[in-house]
Structure 1
């Protein structure tokens, strides 16, 4: 995580990763606003571009070609990405309520979440129909539909696929699906005629917002492609295998795709924001909501009060520039500008087979060349979000000196801008006089010693929101704070102690808190201990008191969740100021004083099987993330692995007779394995082909991106008996990759290995693998032999 050169003065939160918001992110990346922190909250890491979706369904584009990697884009923009669902807004306290994390504070909020077909208003549609929007969720249903079509039993006759809605989206969908699925059946040696496609609309014509010439052209295409079209057919009920219309007709439908009656999600109803009849947010021409100047909306979820706008991607894309400008102006306290949407726009509607029809007002023309034109336009749009220009401060570690100078210059300029407030025009963020004083203090020279502690009022407010688990053996803890905690050690038990501390490597303080706590607990679990208490050591960058408080609340909220789940009571700690966010814990655990249940690094026996419970690759992935070179879904998967506790895994290993165990952390797989073979007096064989790897890890090391600790770990290659034979293996560098909150590396008797792996996978350690075996110590100096 690249540290900011300035203290955070304002929080802009973007809910949703739609076309407008990705444009806003890129604009703020190219022209940052000093003191502004941007947070994106989105349910999806890969956000689809609707203009290329029909081509993806037809099979002309890959998944990555039609999706914007929100993780990479946010990293490039210096924005935080929170992978979560929004379920409400507390406008009075300016906080966003999320499904799986503490509320997120905002100074300014923008919503760009698209619209959703209102299937809940049609009986049976919510469970039996597939809404096309949100587009990201549609992809899984589309892949399932393709599998269903491929496996459709011949004896059941033709499979009927119905599309409800005959606007441009419905037309493109039915033609694209037909093109792709017919080719899929041909590839399987089956007849494409085994599929039937039906298009239904409540209106009296298809494409109601387009000119008669375009409608006539598509009517002809649909007829030539044998797509049944039924107008004046309002679907009022969906039952298994059947659609029912208001006029009493029924239509067979083995699968129903819903592309009509778009509106807002149910959670908007409780926000108090002014909404239209479809539940979309009413906005002024400035894209500001009618009854809250701190909330903006754009794209399909915005309902333009000046005149109705079609739910078309072209408007969402065009709104990005005025939205970014007005968000910036609002933060600066400047007058907002009105957005004047175009009256006519060019629509390029594809027919699935690399042919497209252009429609604009009364004009219309078509051809394969129109599709190639559309393809060029779409690819150019996507390049803006996949090929990032070099930005200051994004270089190699060798440029550290230049980065420091840049940071000092930026802070100096920000100080001048803050001091200039109230003395004339300023283009910087609009602050109160109290906030200006706090900001100047944050930038000024800070004290050391106890003068670097975070203020008591900030701490009490942040910690007051936390609820550590209560334990009867904690006599004095946070429930009655004192100079130190007092803890009873139960009779017959011994204390296990460990400490871990590191700086933040991601921009989400809540998830970072969870990872840091999980990492610290790992040593206790690896030894078979029971966590008892934890004391925290926290470093936070100075800034506005409200921002520091929120940062602490988010980070410690994540940590407390993990500690509480482990039955570990947070009993105290120390919070100080520093250049970067960092968190660590000293953990005390309990174990049988007779050492019967202790699992140690030594104890491996020849013939044991070597198990690893989590995939490796966190070091290279987060090194790549810092360079905008890792895909967002790779980072998301890595974080999910890192927050998976080792507690259950350790218990399963113990009950299956593990002879030795350790948690995989900074020294990497090879380093920790050598730490086990030496005291055990054994050798080990590692099977490269069975190593569980995080998605993207091999891609990153092949790109030459490794952790800064990698060179030190590579020195342990002398422990490898046949390293030269594997230098060309793409997995070889990952033997030295430092892990954060890694899995458990353990030796288990061979007779227990199968049952142990099965139990671990059932407990959620789905990547558990047998990665080698333990052998008797040989005459060779090197204890580890690599196998293919």
Structure 2
């Protein structure tokens, strides 16, 4: 028996390239593979931060010349444009024997070729107290947060406070000098704008070198020495800081220097976790690589940027090298998978460095040459903006057709058979099930919680589960299923489980057991196995946390990854008042526990029109369990509750008002929204389910008068793993809201109230009234 021909067949994944870190080299690799994809090869970018800063523009950002988006590359969008997966996490190790990247809180990620581009890490731990009392410039995210905290403290400082603000930078290289001048420029500007004396800012630069910028020529050093002194920056040369205490620095001679904020821009090395990989490292902990950017220890692992040290070619840690390594790194990763010869990368001996001076002025340095002027800053600005446009101005995505020539990746005999099978017409019916060996291996590492009531479960060979219902309990059943909307199967598994559990919690029940139904695209067994393992690990973690035991399921082949669960819950038999949709009463406050906007945001993501941080926040919200929220609502006497999912807020509210025989009022300004949702709706980007939901607009009284409101469209936005909507007595609503926020539902809000049905109105009997 054969299945119908699929609408589109993609090349099966044959090999995986995993990129650890979102540095300048890796963004170039992504762009190069986006321009020329390699059939059968999948890229996965692993990075803790979704937005990576361009180092050349960071001083301008600190000085206030650029906003956040101007200096950051959106890695999630870039990866999506390149057809790569994006994993927002931090690697903690490499299992080279098993070819897997390990993490602290998620399953390992297999690789065929691996590249590391994570930059350097300041060794603040080498100086006593520095880790506790100084902020390192890297990781940039931590520095950025501390910088904004400083700006906030300055803004909140009482105007009459006359004590000076003392700023210290430790490190006299280009990074330290640029950062000092940028911070000084911004802080003086902030003080002036607040009507304060900018001279209240006192700045000091500390370096153990005899001069600032010791790797640059004499003219450059002289220029910046004069500039620093002219700006009132105290220079402490030949000064080695040996201890950092709260509010002061101590040098090798025991002299103390008072400071309110210390920034560390020196003594960088490799990340500590690299020591456990067995890769050859130099004295500073950087990965030793050959001329092909391969590690000298392992031909399957590459490294680039500051984290790499090229044997026989010592060089300064400068962003220009990381940028120029991008192309040879991409080409060598591709060639290594195709068993082709690699190309050598030979860094130039001299390069042009453009060093900004805080204001819109820059100094050029190349070998023995130097220039300076505002025109150089403008030139640098044009170069930087042009560079950023290559990675942020991305075309809208189109459906990728399978390659005409097929994969060029060499496969062994078994892999060739599997690849041919994956591309061939697949069987339907029972022939579409995932192979037993693949399934058993994928599930072998799962260890779901166990309930005594489960008599036959996942560990048993039987075809059905057997579960005892405890005395005095009634069963609550629900089912949900949908296709993947993100490329990380682990996170998708988490979201799918949260979504399926929502109906159980909304009725005030506790989840007991779940049966999974999964669809996985065909391909090489190892790739299918890993996808299943990643997805089900994420799901089981969520089910376990909810006290819900996975007892079985079904897995089959399909063109798209999909997952769903049939969930059984328990509730007291004949409870006094279960939470249902028909329990609203006039006077109840309407409480929504999570923000709206997942539908429009993920529709925008599909068009590369959503910022990565918007998607991050949406996923964080979707992965917040409704279990504690439901318990809180019950404790505060909620009589009616539902989870807000596919029908949108309005659709689910109508499901509550109609059987309850009441009307409702909503305050649009009170609706909690995910970042970016209002912007994407305003751009006309909505979910494919939205038009069906909009048909319910007739439930809104005077709906024509609200069509142009910027939040109107979000009433119909379908939610995935959305929050709970409940009616709580008005006199308990504020206390309930406070408890919800204490439980982590930071965006929970009272969005309206329940009113008696207005039976006298005949011209517009719609039950939902809107207010600003």
TM range (shorter): over 0.9
Q: Please point out which of 63, 84, 109 is paired with 1:79.
A: 84
Deviations 1:399-427 (A, max 9, x none): xxxx6xx33xx2x531xx5xxxxxxxxxx
Equivalent residue for 1:210, pick from 211, 216, 241: 216
Residue 248 of structure 2, aligned match among 237, 242, 252: 242
Q: Distance in 2 between matches of 1:144 and 1:283?
A: 39
Residue matched to 1:737: 717
In the alignment, is residue 553 of structure 1 matched against residue 533 of structure 2? Answer: yes
Aligned to 2:52: 47
In structure 2, which of residues 405, 420, 424 is the aligned counterpart of residue 413 of structure 1?
405
Following TM superposition, by how much is the alpha carbon of 1:135 offset from its aligned partner in structure 2, in angstroms? 1.8
Q: How far is the alpha carbon of 1:169 from its aligned partner?
A: 0.6
CA contact (8 A) 1:500 1:585 kept: yes
- Of 568, 582, 587 in structure 1, the residue corresponding to residue 562 of structure 2 is 582
Q: Pick from 434, 442, 445: which aligns with 1:462?
A: 442
Q: List per-residue Cα deviations over 1:635-668 (Å, max 9, x = no partner).
A: 0000000011101111111111111100000000
Q: Name the counterpart of 2:365.
A: 359
Cα contact 1:721–1:783 (8 A) shared by 2: yes
Q: CA deviation at 1:4?
A: 7.5
- Provide the aligned C-alpha RMSD in A: 1.3
Alignment of 1:379-778 (within 5 A): 379-389=385-395, 392-393=398-399, 406-407=401-402, 410=403, 413-414=405-406, 428-778=408-758
Cα distance per residue 1:676-731 (max 9 Å; x no partner): 00100000001100000000001111111000000000000000112112111110
Unpaired runs of 5+ residues, structure 2, are 1-6
2 CA distance for matches of 1:61 and 1:314?
A: 20
What's the CA shift string for 1:464-488, capped at 9, x where partnerless?
1101110000001013231211000
Q: Per-residue displacement from partner, 1:306-354 (whole Å, max 9, x unpaired)?
A: 2211111111111111111111111111111110111100000000110
Of the candidates 345, 350, 353, which is equivalent to residue 356 of structure 2? 350
Report what 2:26 is aligned to.
21
Paired residues of 1:3 and 1:580 also in contact (CA < 8 A): no
Matched residue SS, 1:587: strand
Deviations 1:600-638 (A, max 9, x none): 000110011101000000000000000110000000000
From 140, 148, 158, give the equivalent of 1:143.
Answer: 148
Q: C-alpha displacement at 1:157, in angstroms?
A: 2.6
Deviations 1:237-294 (A, max 9, x none): 1111221222333222221111111111111111101111111111111110010111
Alpha carbons 1:24, 1:320 under 8 Å: kept: yes
Report if the CA contact (8 A) 1:152-1:159 is conserved: no
Measure, in 2, the Cα distance between the counterparts of 1:136 and 1:634: 17
For residues 281-360 of structure 1, the aligned pairs below 5 Å read 281-360=287-366
User: For residues 271-286 of structure 1, what are the structure 2 equivalents within 5 Å?
Assistant: 271-286=277-292
Question: Shift of residue 597 of structure 1?
Answer: 4.6
Report the Cα distance in structure 2 between the residues aligned to 1:556 and 1:449, rounded to whole angstroms. 23
Q: Is the 8 A contact 1:528 1:597 kept in 2?
A: no
Q: 1:392 deviation in Å? A: 4.5
CA distance in 2, matches of 1:308, 1:618: 49
Contact 2:598 2:718 in 1 (8 A): yes
Between the aligned partners of 1:351 and 1:564, the Cα distance in structure 2 is 55
- Note the C-alpha offset of 1:133: 1.3
Q: State the match for 1:784 in structure 2.
A: 768
1:105 alignment partner, one of 96, 99, 110: 110
Q: Which residue of 2 aligns with 1:420?
A: none
Contact 2:395/2:608, CA 8 A, preserved across alignment: no
**Unmatched runs of 5 consecutive residues or more in structure 1:** 394-402, 418-427
Residue equivalent to 2:3: none
Q: Secondary structure at the match of 1:384?
A: helix
SS in 2 for 1:247: coil
Q: Judge conservation of contact 1:160–1:197 (CA < 8 Å) in 2.
A: yes
Q: Please state how far the C-alpha of 1:514 moved relative to its aligned partner.
A: 0.5
Output the CA distance in 2 between the equivalents of 1:251 and 1:105: 50
Asked if 1:115 corresponds to 2:95, the answer is no
Given that 2:589 and 2:754 are in contact with CA atoms closer than 8 Å, whether structure 1 keeps it comes out as yes
C-alpha separation between the residues in 2 aligned to 1:329 and 1:704? 43
> Contact conserved, 2:292 with 2:344, CA < 8 A, in 1?
yes
- Do the aligned residues in 1 keep the contact of 2:578 with 2:639 (CA within 8 Å)? no
Q: How far did 1:433 drift?
A: 2.0
User: Any idea what SS the aligned residue of 1:413 has?
Assistant: coil
Question: Is 1:91 aligned with 2:84?
Answer: no
Q: CA 1:4–1:232 in structure 2 vs 1: closer, same or farther (change >3 Å)? A: farther
Cα distance between partner residues in 2 of 1:249 and 1:594: 76
TM-score, normalised on structure 2?
A: 0.97
Conserved in 2, the CA contact under 8 Å of 1:591 and 1:597? Answer: no
Corresponding residue number in structure 1 for 2:384 = 378
Cα distance, 1:437 vs structure 2:
1.4
State the shift of 1:94 in Å.
Answer: 0.8
Q: Distance in 1 between matches of 2:283 and 2:705?
A: 68
CA contact (8 A) 1:274 1:291 kept: yes
1:199 aligns with 2:205: yes
Answer yes or no: is 1:132 the counterpart of 2:137.
yes
How far, CA to CA, are the matches of 1:597 and 1:520 in structure 2? 23
Whether 1:189 and 2:181 are equivalent positions in the alignment is no
Once structures 1 and 2 are overlaid, which stretch shifts more, 775-784 or 743-752?
Answer: 775-784
- What is the CA-CA distance between 1:152 and the residue it aligns to? 4.9
Distance 1:758 1:373, change over 3 A: same
Q: How many residues align?
A: 761
In 2, the alpha carbon distance for the partners of 1:471 and 1:178 equals 62
**1:223 CA drift (Å):** 1.0
Q: Distance in 1 between matches of 2:157 and 2:250?
A: 24
Structure-2 separation of matches of 1:14 and 1:383: 22
The residue matched to 1:109 in structure 2 has which SS?
strand
Contact kept in structure 1, 2:22 and 2:117, CA below 8 Å: yes
Question: Alpha-carbon deviation of 1:3?
Answer: 8.6
Say which of 5, 8, 18 aligns to 2:13: 8
- Structure 1 residues 756 and 327, CA gap change in structure 2 (3 angstroms): same
* CA distance in 1 between partners of 2:200 and 2:410 (Å): 64
Measured in 2, the distance between the counterparts of 1:56 and 1:359 equals: 21
1:267 alignment partner, SS class: helix
SS of 1:686 mapped into structure 2: strand
In structure 2, the partner of 1:421 is none
| 2:165 pairs with one of 130, 139, 159 | 159
Which deviates more from structure 2 when the two are superposed, residues 151-160 or residues 468-477? 151-160
Instruction: Label 1:12 to 1:4 Cα distance change in 2 as closer, same or farther (>3 A).
Output: farther
